[in-house]
């Protein structure tokens, strides 16, 4: 098994062969991937060494100390956190070798075509259709439908896509999972302006988009099971990020508190203390979740982390606005823009307050996550579902 000392030695070899001060950043990232130092827990040849996941921190620390470039993980978060683990688990060897390297280096941005106007919380009700055409090497699928709330669709080269391939079976059984080329002429990306004034989300119309059968992940009809890998990883990516003590939103709020003693009240102080405690609990929950990730695939526990993150973000941003009183009502630039990143820290309190409202929807609504926790973590009886055994084409929509 690879040890920390071996990783330090391997990292030193990478730095000696590719001096970060003189090497093009993209060339360095490609070399890092090829050296197995991209994500060390991935298999050899796919950016890793089959090492324990926890040892990634050793590599990252050595490279950061040397001033090496990173792959801008926030910009390519959907690819890193959702597409990559799904491709690794269900993709063919050809798919893994085609997609994982440019995904990790940031050369190809990914997005997620899951939710639809009539299938958000009830994702299995999705209506986008994929109809098979052709045989043999020319086999493929023609896709028609509409997706919504798609982050980074205006930047993406590829998308992970769920589409219905069999309307004659119950809704969870007739779904398949594809990789969609976002440069196909049948893909129409339109911005959705949000409460913040920005359009980081999009709606995507798919008209006669042809996807080769070679870009299908897993077997036909197994899309729902495969999607659970994506969704569990998505919730971990949103709610289980590594944050230092008093980092993130609680750090911003605490700093505001320290700068404005004239605005303090006993009631606000008690709420700040409760928020700090909740933030620390969430931080420790994230550490435990990453320990579980190090020994296997994420489970429904990620739903609890994401649910707690959404609630806490809204409470902390609301408290910040209250603490600042009339100054908390100010809002910066309302100009329509299509940002590459969601930046909570570089904006004013008004922006943070408005943007946090979306945290209880993205990555699975809080209501649905409570059902997941109740049924899969606590073992409570499942909610009655009248359409469980009804063919999709006969179900009410």
Handedness of CA 244, 245, 250, 251 (dihedral sign): negative
Q: String of b and e for 46-73 (b: at least 16 CB within 10 Å)?
A: bbbbebebebbebbeebbeeeebbebee
176 token code pair: 């398949």
38 token code pair: 């991209």
Q: Are 204 and 150 in contact (CB under 8 A)?
A: yes
What region does 50 belong to: left with phi over 0, alpha with psi -120 to 50, or beta? left
Task: Indicate which residue of 116, 198, 200, 234 is catalytic.
Answer: 234
340 is catalytic: no
The set of residues, in sequence order, having a beta carbon less than 8 Å from that of 38 and lying 6+ positions away, is 29, 32, 47, 48, 104
- Which run of H or E residues covers position 216? strand 216-217
What is the spatial distance between Cα 250 and Cα 100, in angstroms, rounded to a whole number?
Answer: 35
Rounded to 5°, angle at Cα 89 from 166 and 94 = 85
Long-range contacts of 14-19 (CB under 8 A, 24+ apart): 15/62, 15/63, 15/66, 15/68
What is the spatial distance between Cα 311 and Cα 333, in angstroms, rounded to a whole number?
Answer: 26
Residues identified as active-site: 234
């Amino acid at each position: 098994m690879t040890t920390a000392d071996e990783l330090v030695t391997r990292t030193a070899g990478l730095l000696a062969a590719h001096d970060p001060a003189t090497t093009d950043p993209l060339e360095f990232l490609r070399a890092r991937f090829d050296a197995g130092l991209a994500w060390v827990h991935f298999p050899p040849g796919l950016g890793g060494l089959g090492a324990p996941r926890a040892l990634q921190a050793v590599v990252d620390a050595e490279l950061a100390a040397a001033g090496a470039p990173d792959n801008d993980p926030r910009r390519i978060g959907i690819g890193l956190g959702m597409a990559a683990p799904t491709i690794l688990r269900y993709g063919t060897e050809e798919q893994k070798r085609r997609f994982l390297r440019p995904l990790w280096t940031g050369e190809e941005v990914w997005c997620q075509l899951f939710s639809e106007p009539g299938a958000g919380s009830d994702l299995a009700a999705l209506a986008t259709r994929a109809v098979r055409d052709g045989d043999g090497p020319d086999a493929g699928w023609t896709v028609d439908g509409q997706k919504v709330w798609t982050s980074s669709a205006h930047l993406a080269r590829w998308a992970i896509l769920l589409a219905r391939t069999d309307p004659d079976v119950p809704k969870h059984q007739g779904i398949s999972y594809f990789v969609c080329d976002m440069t196909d002429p049948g893909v129409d990306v339109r911005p959705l302006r949000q409460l913040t004034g920005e359009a980081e989300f999009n709606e995507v119309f798919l008209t006669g988009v042809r996807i080769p059968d070679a870009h299908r992940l897993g077997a036909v009809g197994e899309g729902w099971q495969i999607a659970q890998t994506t969704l569990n990883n998505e919730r971990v990516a949103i709610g289980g990020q590594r944050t230092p003590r008093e980092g993130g939103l609680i750090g911003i709020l605490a700093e505001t508190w320290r700068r404005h003693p004239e605005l303090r009240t006993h009631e606000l102080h008690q709420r700040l203390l409760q928020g700090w405690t909740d933030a620390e609990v969430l931080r420790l929950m994230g550490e435990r979740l990453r320990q579980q990730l190090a020994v296997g695939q994420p489970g429904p526990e990620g739903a609890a982390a994401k649910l707690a993150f959404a609630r806490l973000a809204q409470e902390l941003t609301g408290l910040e606005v209250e603490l600042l009183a009339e100054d908390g009502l100010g809002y910066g630039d309302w100009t329509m823009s299509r940002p590459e990143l969601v930046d909570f820290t570089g904006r004013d309190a008004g922006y943070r307050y408005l943007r946090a409202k979306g945290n209880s929807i993205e990555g699975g609504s809080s209501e649905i996550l409570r059902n997941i926790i109740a049924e899969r973590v606590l073992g409570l009886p499942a909610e009655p579902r009248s359409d469980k055994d009804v063919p999709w084409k006969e179900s009410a929509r």
